[in-house]
Amino acid sequence: MRESSAQSVPANQTDRPLLAVLRGERRDPPPVWLMRQAGRYLPEYRALRAEKGGFLELVHDSAAAAEVTLQPIHRFGFDGAILFSDILVIPHALGQDLWFETGEGPRLAPKLVDHALADLTAVPERLSPVFETVRQVRAQLPAQTTLLGFAGSPWTVATYMVAGQGSREQAEARRLAYRDPVAFQAIVDAIVTATVDYLSGQIAAGVDAIQLFDSWAGSLSPAQFERWVIAPTVTIVDRLRTRHPDTPIIGFPKGAGGKLPAYARETRVDALGLDETVDPRWADASLPEGLPVQGNLDPLALITGGEALESAVTDIRAAFPARPHVFNLGHGILPDAPIAHVERLLELLRAR
């Protein structure tokens, strides 16, 4: 984590307000982007996906993926563009087959719950289209817009690799971690190595900052959280800092709750994402001083709109009177989010 005086500076005095906040400066109004902002709530995205034939086809088509990444920037002028890809490109590059079942989500094979990691043959060239997407977005992005890359954190990615799909309680991965921690550690270590190379490739291609998504961090006990969330994240952060010392890293351990201060201190991420269940006033009082935070509007408040949206925005902004803050959702934008409500959110944030 970089130290900061957290002084408030008008947004028009920086080329990239979001990047400035991630580096520890406060901006007023706060910069804003939304997780999953490139996606199903946009008609232009739905049209392009139908044309290309599916989600994975979009990810592997660099020109199309660049267009999807840029769609919300053209429509809304967010301060950040988030690379259009998926966290499961890492298992795919490690040698698992990846496909998406209509209406059911991603599938991976073979499942590592009953196959050895050594059975896989890595195919790192499967990541090449993502790097090309970054290059194309970088060439087209407005100068003031920060380009964000990302990857899934090792624990969350491992849960998919073990079970072959998403699951509510991540039971198969948790059982394997207890039953055979050596085998599970090998899976996590492989993900760590691949993730560092992957994120380094994104940075070399042109992203300004990266985010680690740990969507299932909330399913672990404190001791397991320390081993499978914090420890691998420490390794990724340290290795990336060695290669790219000036690139901010956002950690987003969804569901971590009271374990957030330990995560922030031990991983030394540059900024911390807060999900919608976190009390922002508690976060401001409990997290390391000067640490930038991101979040944490409930995606359902955005869908509801009206007074629910306006009061939530007011409360979140008031919770961080001096801390550097990136306004975002507490999780991804939902497919039924009305575009008019996104527009209203931006009006509320940018009004003086």
Residues annotated as catalytic are: 36, 40, 49, 86, 160
Amino acid at 24: G
CA distances from 196 to 134, 200, 209, 285 (A): 16, 6, 14, 32
Q: For every residue of 234-266, which 3-state class applies, written as one string?
A: HHHHHHHHHHCCCCCEEEEECCCHHHHHHHHHH
Q: Who contacts 210 (Cβ-Cβ below 8 Å, separation ≥6)? A: 148, 149, 150, 151, 199, 202, 203, 240, 247, 248, 249, 250
- ∠140-63-45 over CA atoms, to 5°? 90
